[in-house]
Structure 1
């Protein structure tokens, strides 16, 4: 092993993910390496303070990961090129689509020896609908193929096997390329403590951005149906209503805000108090997830879950002879979602039992320390 400190450059499309999803990994990386981040503007001072306390060098940009802007993207490419020339990284770690596509292309051009792009889910571009804008989808797939091909130094990281096989099937990558599958972003089990769920006052919680493919409408409709029969049951929703190509309709958002079906909480910095006060965590997503972080957080805190039998989501549910931790329901199937919600309402002991099983499953498969150990091996910096 080379004991020399390496220069590691991380590129992302949202500053809040640096600590929420990569915080523990960054803590491991800075022990033996010089770490820099290339991120959209950091709006939360606590994020900046934490990165600075770790001696991470911060470089900011104006990238918008959710919208299409040729001018903005070209500006991003030039900024990244200049930054790579300045910092001369030994390892380049981009994650999410735009940093992966543009970053990997620039890193190859700059002859960085170790490039480790991580695809944290394939999003809209590989769903059956093909996304709302077929031209954007086609261009994205072409650019992804161009960015990932060739170069022995590229090690592609996936968060589930479905995404790997999807890119193989579509010809974007081939079997000769180096590819690795890790168990999502992991979850810090010391941060998300177990607590026994309340089974006397049952409540369901969904944590998600307010976009269609996350299943917001399905959750709302299921809650409306359940509450017509069990008016005492509570349904809560955490998440921001952002400018996004797939944001829910204003009409639905208005219903969420003003009728009494859901308690809308908005965006929060710490989900733990809300998970602690919830009985079951729900995510009826068909977005094209890596492994949904909110489900891992719920499992870590001992919450039974309901999610969709879709890419990434299905990774979080197990059903063995020794027990299970939750349910998978078909995509966009409100009736099935309602049935599983009613199961928990009528079988409250399983709320506790499935939650205990979920915590155990998280320890065995999704512990952030296990995931990060794999990441360090792939980067060859541990």
Structure 2
């Protein structure tokens, strides 16, 4: 539990400050943002969560957080639907008038930024502060093409529409994203680096390496952008070379994503020698208890992958692609081997090397826990986010100058 800091304890006779999270899915909030929300609640905030409601809403409400349904979908970019989402958010902001609005990820940041403008921010919501966390830019915004550049321009426009200024905070999870957002923007808003959403270091403890054939595992949504196809191709290559490497794929299909891998394809892979598709797994410690090596073959756009944080906390050697976000956790030579994205042959070489070198595997495994403990732990991430919120609600001079 976080004690109530003096800045809020001194306000105990006043109404509690309100913190409204705006996020696409209830399951994402539960899996990635509960530690931050708990830290804010324990510091004295009244917490609400606006999201699409599914099976995880009850668990969120059980934490004492208000759940506000939003009828949106992550995979929908229909302009008319987006306009409707903006209007609904504007009405929500005018009705709730929260002390802090925290937009999580790119879509809520973009739509929420325009909704704030429509709601009359900052004049009509002059006491509201805004936090935006960009949990990875995704392949759509992090690429080098014209489409990605236009997407980043739209994101910047949304931030400006939200009346960006000194009393707000832009949070990124890795330095590469901060640099990419700043490029080509004469006066970009300053960003804060808070790496990841936190991992429970007591729940995920170091595990002994399992017996039996060397096994690698990827825990992720089953999407092409996560490089699952590249990983399957790499494991096929390793096995064709006579190395008995096994692969576990843990994760459900994601029908809302345009990058979804069909369930029929996943089932077909699961019938191949050495490959097992587990589907959704409620406790991924059972995966790491079976696997010697953690893999994330992502093609890019990551924030800080939670699956790698959990694997590292369990003391697993890592093979990952050399992309922003992943290399925050997978450090070449310390706890990981890196390969270029979209390169099954290079991925196969790294997997083969680690599968056949127990000493190297053991050395990298020993380095993994030290990478995440304590910097990526829930307590540290929760403390930093709590301090950010408190800094936004702390008294400040009325004559303080505005920022970019």
TM score, norm. by length of structure 2: 0.85
Once residues 87 and 119 of structure 1 are traced to their aligned partners in structure 2, the CA distance between those partners, rounded to angstroms, is 23
Alpha-carbon spacing, 1:63–1:139, altered in 2? closer, same or farther (3 Å)? farther
Counterpart of 1:29?
40
Work out which of the residue numbers 148, 154, 173 in structure 2 matches 1:159: 173
Once residues 38 and 143 of structure 2 are traced to their aligned partners in structure 1, the CA distance between those partners, rounded to angstroms, is 38
Q: Which has the larger Rg? A: 2
Instruction: Specify the SS of the correspondent of 2:25.
Output: coil
Instruction: Specify the SS of the correspondent of 1:186.
Output: coil
Work out which of the residue numbers 306, 314, 320 in structure 2 matches 1:301: 314
Counterpart of 2:240?
228
Where do 1:113-262 residues align within 5 Å? 113-128=128-143, 130=145, 134=147, 137=148, 140-149=151-160, 150-152=163-165, 153-171=167-185, 174-175=187-188, 177-198=189-210, 200-230=212-242, 232-243=244-255, 244-248=257-261, 252-253=265-266, 255-262=268-275
Once residues 333 and 139 of structure 1 are traced to their aligned partners in structure 2, the CA distance between those partners, rounded to angstroms, is 27
Alpha-carbon spacing, 1:341–1:11, altered in 2? closer, same or farther (3 Å)? same
Counterpart contact for 2:142–2:180, Cα < 8 Å: no
The answer to whether residue 121 in structure 2 is matched with residue 110 in structure 1 is: yes
Once residues 231 and 350 of structure 1 are traced to their aligned partners in structure 2, the CA distance between those partners, rounded to angstroms, is 17
The answer to whether residue 374 in structure 2 is matched with residue 351 in structure 1 is: no
Instruction: Specify the SS of the correspondent of 2:213.
Output: coil
Once residues 211 and 370 of structure 2 are traced to their aligned partners in structure 1, the CA distance between those partners, rounded to angstroms, is 20
Q: Unpaired runs of 5+ in structure 2?
A: 1-6, 394-404
TM score, norm. by length of structure 1: 0.90
Deviation for aligned residue 1:251: 8.1
Deviation for aligned residue 1:54: 2.0
Counterpart contact for 1:92–1:107, Cα < 8 Å: no
Counterpart of 2:401?
none
Counterpart contact for 1:107–1:115, Cα < 8 Å: no
Q: Unpaired runs of 5+ in structure 1?
A: none
Once residues 130 and 293 of structure 1 are traced to their aligned partners in structure 2, the CA distance between those partners, rounded to angstroms, is 27
Counterpart of 1:342?
352
Number of residue equivalences:
370
Instruction: Specify the SS of the correspondent of 2:342.
Output: coil
Deviation for aligned residue 1:233: 2.5
- Deviation larger for 148-157 or 186-195: 148-157
Once residues 264 and 129 of structure 1 are traced to their aligned partners in structure 2, the CA distance between those partners, rounded to angstroms, is 33
Deviation for aligned residue 1:106: 2.3
Instruction: Specify the SS of the correspondent of 2:295.
Output: strand
RMSD: 2.3
Deviation for aligned residue 1:49: 3.2
Deviation for aligned residue 1:261: 4.8
